Structure 1
C-alpha cells in the first residue's frame, strides 16, 4: 500500500493524538511513518507511548541489522513505547456516538418483550427449563433517557472528540455533571466544544486523558461556554506547565474546585513571574492570576519542591483547602509584608495583642518578615490580608519536611483548622498517635488532624506531653557540659527554648500550674514545682505476661527523689519481673497519651510524674530486640562495605592519575 495514499493518511492519527489498541490499552501517538526494521519498510506505522509502562516494548528506538540504533521518538516514561500497525488500533469515537451507544432510545425494541428474556432459561430440579423473567425494563429505560438526565458518566468509552454538535446539544443539553475520565481526549479544543453544547454544565471530569500542549487558547475555550463551571477535575492529564492550568482558569471564571493532581506544574513561579520581596522570597501579595472564586485546589504529585512555589497561590482570596500530598516540599516559609508586621507590633505595644513574642520571628530585609508563628495569626490585624488568609485546611502528607519548625510556622495561617501531615521524614520515627499529638500541640487552633477531630481532652493531653518534653530539654540545657548539657543558666535555657518552640510560654501559662515539675528548671520564674517536694500517688499497672493478672497497686512516692531505677526495683518486688526486663511508661491520667521513662538515673519529677499518674510496666520483647540488633548490624556492615568500595575506587582513581602524570612526564622528558 502506498504510504502517500490520501485515504490511508486520513486514517492515521496526528502526533500527540490518542489511540487504544485491541486489548483496551490507551496510548499517545509519538511518531507516524515507516520503520526500517519492518518487513515492508514503506508501510506507515504509528509509534506510541502506552499509559501503562508495562505494556511497552522499547523506548522509541529500534536496533538496525548492522547493530546500530535508530530512534524514532522518545518516551516520557522510559520503556513504554511500541509500534502499532494501521488497523490494530482505534482513534476513538465522538461523545455524541458514545451517548447513542450507552443510552437506549425509548422507542428501541425491548430486550424482554412481555417481561421474558428470549432464549434465556434456568434449569429446574426435574431437568426442565424455566424462562427467565425481567420486570421493569420500561421503567428503567424511562429513567435513563439522556434528555432527562443531569448527570452523565462516560468513562473508558474511547471518546476522542465532540462529534456532531447539534446531536450532542440535543442529547446533553440538560447535563450538569459530566464524567469523561480515561477516554482518548487529547485536544482542549474538543473539550471546549463539548462544554459549549452543555449549557448547564457545572461539574466536569476529564482526568486520565493525556492532552497536548496548546499553542494558544483554543477558540472553543474563549467562547464563554463554561462560565457556569464550578468543579474541574484534570488529574493525570499529562500537563507539563502551569500555563495550561492558568488557561483553564481564564476559561472558567466561576471555578470553585480544581483537582490537578499527578501533573507537572513545577514552573509555576516562572509562569506567573512572581514579584519578590527584598529578601528574595515571594512577597505573597501577588501570584497566580484568575481563580478569584477558587475554594479547593489539589496539587498533589505535581513536582513541587519548595514553599516558594506554594506561595504563588497565597493571595487567592477564597482558597480554603489546599492539597499538596506527595510532592518534595522541604519547609514551610510563610511571609508577612512589612506593613502587616508593623501593625502587629503596634498592636502588641499598646496591649491589644496578648500573645507572647516568639523568638522564631526573624526580621528580614526591607521587603518583609518571616511569619514563623506567634500562635495568634497576628498578621491578620493589618489591613493587608496575610498569606493564605482564608486557608482552613492543608494537606502535606508524603513530602520531605524534616523539621518540626515547619509545623510551628503553619500556626501563622490565621484560618487553619485542619491538617494532614504524615509520611514526612520528621515523623518517620514516630507512631501515628505520637506524630498526631505533636501536630496538635504545636497548632493551637487546629480542630482536625489526619482526618480525625481533635477533642478538648486530647488537645490538653497532647499539649501537656509536649510541655513535658520541653521541660526535659530545659533540664538538660542547664546540666554541666561534662554531663552532656550546655551549662546554661535558667534564664538562658528558657530563652533558647522559647526561640525554638514558639508555644512554650503559652503552654506553660495554660498547664504549668497543674503539672508536677521539680528541680532547677521548674518554671519560667517560679520557685520549684507545685508538688516537687511532696509525695505523689501513683498507680502501678503490670502488662507483663508473668503478672498481668495482678491488680494495679497504688503507691505514694517521692517524685523529686525517687529515680526510675529505684522504681523498677519496687516493680520487681510487686510484679516478679527483673529490672532488666522492664519497660516503664507513664501517663498523667487514665486514657492520656503515654511517654516512656527511658532514663534510670532521672527522678520521677523529671518525667513529670504527678499525683494521679499511672505507670505501666511492660516486658521487653527479646526476640524483637535481637531482630533490631541484627538489622542494625547488617546496616552497619552495608555502610562499611560502601565506604570500602568508595575508598577502593578513590585509590584506583588516584593511581590512574599518578600513572598518567608519570607517563606525561616521561613523554615530555623524551621530547
Structure 2
C-alpha cells in the first residue's frame, strides 16, 4: 500500500505500479473531489495531456502527452537507502546476485554476511528516495566501492551527494534512468565524490551544459557514460574532466561542428559515438597526411551506426596520432566495386596506426596486403596526376597517404594497374545462422541470403517460418570475428550490406 502523502510531495519522484514519474502538482481538480497528484511520466507515452484539463492548466510537461492525474493512493514515494537495502536483504525469495569482496553470491548467501562487508550494492529499479538519517549509511555499509541506483526515486544531486559522502571508498556509481535536479550548491558537494572513477548516466534527459555544471563534483572521474540523453551541442570543458579517459556519447543527436570542443581533453583515450548521426569532422590545424594536435591521446574510437559516407572523413581520422582501434560498422562507406572487403582494405590503408578494425586485429600481413592493393587501386589515377601540378594536389588531397605508401613499397608497376572487374553485389550470398533468443528449444536456422536483402524481407522470411506477425520481430546480429558486441538491426528498409553483415555471422531473433 502506498505511504501517506508527504508534505513535500511537490517535485518528488514516485512509482506508480512499475512506472516512474515526477510530481508536478498537488491539489484539487474540479469537479472531482479530493486530492490529486499531477505527474509527469518518465515514459511520455503513458500520459494523456500536457498538464491541462478542460482549459485549465495545472502543471506543465516537456512532452504534450507526458502528464496524468493520479490519486495519492496509487503513488509510492519510496523509502530511504538503508530501508530499501534491508528489505531486499530480508527477502528470502529473491534470486538476485551481488558481488561481495570480489565474489558473486546469491542473495540468500549474502544474508549470512554482514552489510559491512559489502563492496558492491545493486539497487537498480528500487524505490530509494534519499539517504535517511545522516551517518547511518557510513556506519552500516562503509566498504562499498560500486553502487547501482539506476531507476531510483532520488530527486536530485543533493540526495545523491548525501549518499556518496558516506561511502568514502566509492569508485563506481550507476544512476541511469533517473531525473535528477541540479545541485543547489556545487561547492558543497566537492568532497562527496573524491574517489569516484566511473559514472553512468544513461537516459537521464541531461544536456551537456548540465553535465558540465555538475562536473566539478567529480574531480577524478575517468569514465563517463551519458548515452541516450538530450546532448546536442558540446561545449568546451573548462577546468574539468582533466583525468577523463573514456566518454560514451552514444544515441545523442550531436551537432557535428561541436565535437572539436572535446579535442583538448588531455587523457581521453576512448570515445564512443554510436548512433549520433555523425557524418563529418575536420582538423584544420593539420594538412592532408599530417598529424593533428587534437585528441592527442585518443586510441579507441567507435563510430558505428552513423551516417559517414565520404572517404575524406576517414582521411581526417588518419590525422589522429594515437588512433589504434576503430569501430565503423553500419555507415555508408563503400568502395567503387561495392565489395565490403575492399572497403575494409581502404580503411586500413588510410589509417596508418590502426591495429584493430571493428574488433578484429589488423595483422602485419593484412596491412601490407591492404596497402599494396590500395596502391594498385588508384595507381593509374596517381600516374596521370604526376605530370600535372593541379591534378597532383587534388590527388594528394583525396589520397593523403598515397605518397607515403609509394615511399614504403615503391610505385606500382604498369602491369599491376589493371582495373578490377566490377563486384556483383547482388550476386553475393551470405551464410547466416539465425538463433531464436527467446525460444531456446528452437533449433538454429542456417540460410544463405543475398547481401542486398532488406531487413524487412528477412523478417518476412522469419515470420513465415515462425508463424508470427512481422511487426513482432526484432533482429540484431553478432560478428563471427568478434565475440561480445551485438548490433541492432532496427532499419527495416536497410540492407544486410548496410549493417556490414558478413558471411558466417549470426542474427538473433527476438519477439518485441
Residues 288, 310 of structure 1: alpha-carbon distance in 2 compared, 3 angstrom cutoff: farther
Q: Deviations over 1:232-270 (max 9, x none)?
A: 111212213x3432243311211111112222333443x
Q: Is the 8 A contact 2:314 2:347 kept in 1?
A: yes
Pairing partner for 1:39 from 32, 48, 68? 32
Q: Tell me the equivalent position of 1:49.
A: 40
Where structure 2 has 5 or more consecutive residues not aligned to the other structure, the ranges are 94-104, 427-449, 458-512
Match of 2:238 in 1: 288
Which structure has the greater CA radius of gyration? 1
Matches within 5 A, 1:67-78: 69-78=55-64
Deviation at 1:296, TM superposition (A): 0.9
Equivalent in 287, 296, 313 of residue 389 of structure 1: 296
1:510-521 paired onto structure 2 within 5 Å: 510-512=408-410, 517-518=414-415
Alpha-carbon contact 2:234-2:262 (below 8 Å) kept: no
How do residues 488-637 of structure 1 correspond to structure 2 at under 5 angstroms?
493-512=391-410, 517-518=414-415
Matches within 5 A, 1:379-528: 386-426=293-333, 433-471=341-379, 473-474=381-382, 493-512=391-410, 517-518=414-415
Greater percentage in helix: 1
The verdict on how the C-alpha distance between 1:452 and 1:137 changes in structure 2, with shifts beyond 3 A counting, is: closer
Compute the displacement of 1:95 (Å). 0.7
Residues 428, 289 of structure 1: CA spacing in aligned structure 2 closer, same or farther, 3 A cutoff? Answer: farther
Aligned match of 2:192 in 225, 235, 240? 225
Indicate if the aligned counterparts of 2:78 and 2:153 stay in contact, CA closer than 8 A: yes
Are the structure 2 counterparts of residues 502 and 137 from structure 1 closer, same or farther at C-alpha, using a change threshold of 3 Å?
closer
Equivalent position of 1:18 in the other structure? 13
Matched, 1:30 2:2: no
Cα distance, 1:30 vs structure 2: 3.2
* Separation (CA, whole Å) in 2 of partners of 1:433 and 1:467: 16
The secondary structure found in structure 2 opposite 1:48 is strand
- Give the SS at the match of 1:90: coil
Classify the secondary structure of the residue corresponding to 1:507. helix
- Confirm or deny that 1:92 pairs with 2:41: no
Give me the whole-angstrom Cα distance separating, in 2, the residues matched to 1:334 and 1:138: 52
User: Structure 1 runs of 4+ off > 6 angstroms?
Assistant: 136-139
Give the drift of 1:446.
Answer: 0.9
1:333–1:372 Cα contact (<8 Å) kept = no
Aligned counterparts of 1:434 and 1:79: Cα–Cα separation in 2: 48
Partners of 1:86 and 1:139 in 2: how far apart? Answer: 34
1:200 pairs with 2:186: no
Q: Distance in 1 between matches of 2:425 and 2:85?
A: 67
What's the secondary structure of 1:289's corresponding residue? coil
Aligned length: 416
Q: Is the Cα contact below 8 Å between 1:264 and 1:302 reproduced in 2?
A: yes
Pair 1:297 & 2:263 matched = no
Q: Choose the corresponding residue for 1:239, options 185, 206, 226.
A: 206
Change (3 A) 1:387 1:168: same
8 Å contact from structure 1 (residues 296, 319) kept in 2: yes
Paired with 2:303 and 2:241, the residues of 1 have a C-alpha distance of 22
- Determine if the alignment matches structure 1 residue 322 to structure 2 residue 318: no
Aligned twin of 1:258? 224
Q: Give the C-alpha shift of residue 499 in structure 1.
A: 2.0
Structure-1 residue corresponding to 2:508: none
CA contact under 8 A between 2:194 and 2:220: conserved in structure 1? Answer: yes
Residue 227 of structure 1 and its aligned partner are, at CA, apart by 1.1
Alpha carbons of structure 1 residues 12 and 39: separation in structure 2 relative to 1, 3 Å = farther
Q: Distance in 2 between matches of 1:82 and 1:295?
A: 42
Distance 1:431 1:46 in 2: 59
- Quote the RMSD (CA, aligned, Å): 3.6
> Could you say if the C-alpha distance between residues 137 and 177 of structure 1 is closer, same or farther in structure 2, counting changes exceeding 3 Å?
closer
Task: Answer 1 or 2: higher relative contact order, Cα 8 Å, separation at least 6.
Answer: 2
2:51 is aligned with 1:60: yes
SS at match of 1:47: strand
- Whether the 8 Å contact between 2:233 and 2:255 is mirrored in structure 1 is no
Aligned ranges 1:326-345 → 2 under 5 Å: 326-336=275-285
CA positional deviation for 1:494: 3.9
TM-score for the superposition, normalised by structure 2:
0.72
Q: What CA distance in whole angstroms lies between the structure 1 residues aligned with 2:5 and 2:421?
A: 84
Change (3 A) 1:489 1:70: farther
Deviation of 1:401 (Å): 3.1
Partner residue, 1:167: 136
8 Å contact from structure 1 (residues 104, 141) kept in 2? no
Query: Structure 1 pair 57/465, CA: closer, same or farther in 2 (3 Å)?
Result: farther
Do the aligned partners of residues 500 and 88 (structure 1) sit closer, same or farther apart at CA in structure 2, a change above 3 Å counting?
same
What is the TM-score normalised by the length of structure 1?
0.56
Separation in structure 2 between the aligned mates of residue 173 and residue 324 of structure 1, nearest angstrom: 36
Per-residue deviation, 1:144: 4.0
After TM superposition, give the deviation of residue 437 of structure 1 in Å. Answer: 2.8
Q: Residues 89 and 107 of structure 2 are in contact (CA less than 8 Å); yes or no, is this contact kept in structure 1?
A: no
SS in 1 for 2:73: coil
CA distance in 2, matches of 1:325, 1:198: 33
Q: Shift of the alpha carbon at 1:72?
A: 3.6
**1:511, distance to aligned residue in structure 2 (A):** 4.1
CA offsets 1:605-647 (integer angstroms, 9 cap, x no match): xxxxxxxxxxxxxxxx9x99xxx9xxxxxxxxxxxxxxxxxxx
